[in-house]
Structure 1
């Protein structure tokens, strides 16, 4: 796994470290986090977006193993693990841990969680991410065994992610549907309330088994207006926003009360085609549009230089990335020729959908202008985030502006979810792309033990996806957060999860 380099902190502009200043904050207080959009679901087995998972990850829910700041795997609910052979993993749990409802964490609780995830009747879009698990065995009260049907190199990275959240066995057995709105885990914060479209409140878990948080709770507030979120941070009405408009960077950096946190991420932003809909089932149409979009102009003009130009739907920070994958060059004349060959000499009309993030809307407008140059009329449809997720999950869109937030640092999380034919819809393949050769390469890479062979397999798959113009890579993410002088000792990990267990408020 490619490790994230943690850089040093400064007083007002933090690069990839921990947001901190001279002196320590006092314990207590509620950390107020303002966000563009509400969560879409609070059940980890059904969450398919990073903003929703961010509310719960390592806050309400914990995992058998976890990532440290450098994306190394470290113990969490499991204090140790071993691999007797290539297809067997055994985890020994910490003892004396309870869920927020008083249920005991033991090997049976772990089995109940993963049995639910893997049960076809559950209908979880996360199922295939751990579909190589053929059985889970309780060896004793605090030792659980995973038997796989084949070697699976990324297993620990998946178990350390939101998908690996361990949930209350009591709730799973008695009322599993309630987990969508009322999560119950073992974490340092317990769920208190969710007012849809307004706020989610978590409170300090006084019975937490590990180091207790220094703050009393967290309130995630939904504030759609960028300017309002920034003003709330500036006045102290809120403490952190992890969705920062790139147009406000200079203002933040020149402020005495605002501070900017920046760190390179694992996510990639792209323009995607619904390959099962006409005319996007024609590869020449997709190739033409790919050649007509000037990607560098989007990075500079829309994103103010935040992030870097992507060459694939896999960040350079993710294991399996390859510089040998080459996107289509900007060539509007060649694009016109391809449209003519595809039977659209007089042009065509399409709808481009995007979520309501300001930068995404601006990108859509730039694309609209660029495609006009080759005779394509683009109608832009801006959707609230939840409606956007529903639209791409159901597959009625033409083109879309999307992003994939890798949660593991491993290429399987990109390739299987974005391009495997079994991942159409909510698991992540919003391109509705099907290619038997690509499926085979992705499955081979999952089973392969050699890191170098895995890289070669991913490179071959990515080159096919690029040749067939399934998507247009735009930007490798740089994660930003703005915070005021009152909050200290939080950090963003490479996935863009807000880590606040050590945070303090002055």
Structure 2
């Protein structure tokens, strides 16, 4: 990796070791693929070649961003773009989930884990020319955490997910001096540092927020490698290089994110040369990319889950026997074989096996239609029932062909007497409606943000996040035993003890069956051969400042 940073060595006391989770395991699923070896060979070759500056990278994707204020979204399409414009205090190493300095050049924590002090980078400016300093950091955090803040214009659901509500676990954020910020917590939060590296907590210009108010999401201003130029809704977002970026000017002059909803149409544009890289690759396009002279395939390290959530608030899904029957009815292996190009593995837990704390000892619900029918009869539905099955409109990394996957599930459910009508909406509406709990069953998924099990289990399945209007837990599953385990894990600093708590949590979840966990995928991306030094991140989005184009 051509890394232009000059990073001071940071001495961090042992208590933060829990947060520095490497991604060696997260790449395990991809290591056997030929692309992994090809990427490693390419990387070594590129280290001998001088990168070229200039050019425009056109990235084809399946859906548009919802908003360009990362603190007020939960979708990857938004954060894929905002990651280029806003930096956080800390960030993940390229291709990994290990923490490294960003706008904070170093940090330290108290022995009790309740006080965190960050030393900020000097000489950094926002894209509007205003100064980045401790006051800017304090302004951003107070805006997110305090509902009565003048500029708390939005839901800021990620803050609630990761910090336990508003204001949540953070007691105070103070500017010690111009370039030092101190956080005081009400209680220990084991993934605190890892949470801060997540895309939603990129630092915005306070001046821009005050200028645009509730329309700030249309006019993002950060300190990142690229600056916002233009957003044509449903079509494209244009960014340009930040000439004064603190890491050094990016190689690319511009980045254009184009919206091309149809996977096949997007692939055809890659083949024709009108775009430079795509995600959401159809399974039948994978061998074509592998065999094309001018294209190459890149696999994102697997740290995700695609799932079917059953809404506890809608009949008959409050009945555990019905939920278990649905689990036995879905033929995951055939879905992955036919609709994931084999680039995935069947899921039995909500946590991906690449993360520490994964419970390998859980016995999956096997595909068994007869057992499913028996459970339905025991639940009082011997003839099945009618329901709705919601399908995402766009391909997602964890679910490359959601409408076809929904159709396959519809057929599986029909075989046990469950008649499911498929419904879909545009991406923003789909997210809003599922967060409101309007669905019976809905397909969705999650790409891990920080390499910590808390980011999956607490965000997606804890009762704290089953709040209509901002639900991360769209099953609206509310388990007190699970909640106790997850909160204890958050406040336990020893990683081995945390891992055991997460393994127990997965036993509770498996027994209650709020989801059908479908698959953990290795999402494929197609690139032109001229795209150099692109390193996909397991968290689903990466900065493009070190990517360059071979002439």
Q: Same fold (TM over 0.5)?
A: yes
Q: 1:127 to 1:71 in 2, by over 3 A?
A: closer
Alignment partners' CA distance in 1, 2:419 and 2:35: 44
Shift of 1:360: 1.3
Map of 1:432 onto structure 2 = 476
Shift of 1:392: 1.0
SS in structure 1 at match of 2:71: coil
Map of 2:296 onto structure 1 = 259
1:9–1:19 CA contact under 8 A, matched in 2: no
1:14–1:260 CA contact under 8 A, matched in 2: no
Map 1:423-502 → 2, pairs under 5 A:
423-424=465-466, 425=468, 426-502=470-546
Cα RMSD, aligned residues only: 2.1
SS in structure 2 at match of 1:45: helix
SS in structure 2 at match of 1:402: strand
SS in structure 2 at match of 1:203: strand
Shift of 1:176: 3.4
1:411 corresponds to 2:453: yes
1:225 corresponds to 2:225: no
Map of 2:78 onto structure 1 = 52
Q: What is the TM-score when the length of structure 2 is the normalising length?
A: 0.88
- Select the residue among 353, 359, 367 that pairs with 2:390: 353
Alignment partners' CA distance in 2, 1:360 and 1:87: 43
Map 1:259-338 → 2, pairs under 5 A:
259-338=296-375
Map of 2:56 onto structure 1 = 30
Q: Per residue, is there more strand in 1 or in 2?
A: 1
1:4 corresponds to 2:23: yes
Mean alpha-carbon deviation: is it higher for 1-10 or for 28-37? 1-10
- Select the residue among 50, 61, 70 that pairs with 2:86: 61
2:301–2:536 CA contact under 8 A, matched in 1: no
2:212–2:219 CA contact under 8 A, matched in 1: no
Structure 2 segments unaligned to the other structure (5+ residues): 1-19
SS in structure 2 at match of 1:175: helix
Alignment partners' CA distance in 1, 2:382 and 2:157: 40
1:151 corresponds to 2:188: yes
Q: 1:476 to 1:106 in 2, by over 3 A?
A: same
Shift of 1:329: 2.1
Q: 1:345 to 1:312 in 2, by over 3 A?
A: same
Count of residue correspondences: 505
Map of 1:165 onto structure 2 = 202
Mean alpha-carbon deviation: is it higher for 139-148 or for 167-176? 167-176
1:388 corresponds to 2:430: yes
- Select the residue among 155, 159, 169 that pairs with 1:127: 159
1:91–1:143 CA contact under 8 A, matched in 2: yes
Q: What is the TM-score when the length of structure 1 is the normalising length?
A: 0.95
Q: 1:268 to 1:8 in 2, by over 3 A?
A: closer
Q: 1:138 to 1:438 in 2, by over 3 A?
A: same
Shift of 1:13: 7.0
Q: 1:474 to 1:8 in 2, by over 3 A?
A: closer
Alignment partners' CA distance in 2, 1:113 and 1:61: 12
Map of 1:216 onto structure 2 = 253
Alignment partners' CA distance in 2, 1:367 and 1:127: 34
Mean alpha-carbon deviation: is it higher for 206-215 or for 358-367? 358-367
Alignment partners' CA distance in 2, 1:205 and 1:428: 34
2:127–2:221 CA contact under 8 A, matched in 1: yes
Alignment partners' CA distance in 1, 2:181 and 2:459: 27
SS in structure 1 at match of 2:335: helix
Alignment partners' CA distance in 1, 2:411 and 2:39: 35
1:317–1:409 CA contact under 8 A, matched in 2: no
Map of 2:8 onto structure 1 = none
- Select the residue among 126, 134, 141 that pairs with 1:99: 126
Shift of 1:9: 12
Map of 1:175 onto structure 2 = 212
Structure 1 segments unaligned to the other structure (5+ residues): none
Q: 1:70 to 1:145 in 2, by over 3 A?
A: same
SS in structure 2 at match of 1:355: coil
2:391–2:442 CA contact under 8 A, matched in 1: yes
SS in structure 1 at match of 2:308: strand
1:97–1:186 CA contact under 8 A, matched in 2: yes
Shift of 1:246: 1.6
Alignment partners' CA distance in 2, 1:12 and 1:473: 26
Shift of 1:418: 0.6
Mean alpha-carbon deviation: is it higher for 168-177 or for 495-504? 168-177
Map of 1:399 onto structure 2 = 441
Alignment partners' CA distance in 2, 1:254 and 1:321: 36
1:223–1:229 CA contact under 8 A, matched in 2: yes
Map of 1:90 onto structure 2 = 117
SS in structure 1 at match of 2:79: helix
Shift of 1:485: 2.1
Q: 1:2 to 1:77 in 2, by over 3 A?
A: closer
1:274–1:399 CA contact under 8 A, matched in 2: yes
Shift of 1:175: 3.3
Q: 1:359 to 1:18 in 2, by over 3 A?
A: farther
